[in-house]
Amino acid sequence: MVKMVHDFLLNTDWKAKHIANVLRDLYQNPAFGWTQDFFKYPSEEKANYWARTCSAVALWKAGKVEV
């Protein structure tokens, strides 16, 4: 997943919130077999968290963000 976010973020110049929408759609698609019920953390919230986390790591590795 980190590689996918890295490619979208750096190569296509997408924002983290747009990448989160892709992840949310993957979470909600029953064809992928994720049978989690998203009661505690809705799929939108989970996708947003992971997209932002992976985006921060990708930007840091690319030298675009300093910690």
For 6, left (φ over 0), alpha (ψ -120 to 50), or beta?
alpha
**And the tokens for 7?**
């490619």
pLDDT higher than threshold 70 for residue 35: no
Minimum mean pLDDT range among 8-12, 17-21, 46-50: 8-12
pLDDT higher than threshold 90 for residue 48: yes
Distance CA 67, CA 6 (A): 18
> Which tens digits make up the pLDDT trace of 14-32?
888 899 999 888 888 888 8
pTM: 0.78
Q: What is the mean pLDDT of residues 36-65?
A: 86
Break the chain into its structural domains and give their ranges. Answer: 2-61
Which has the higher per-residue pLDDT, 20 or 35? 20
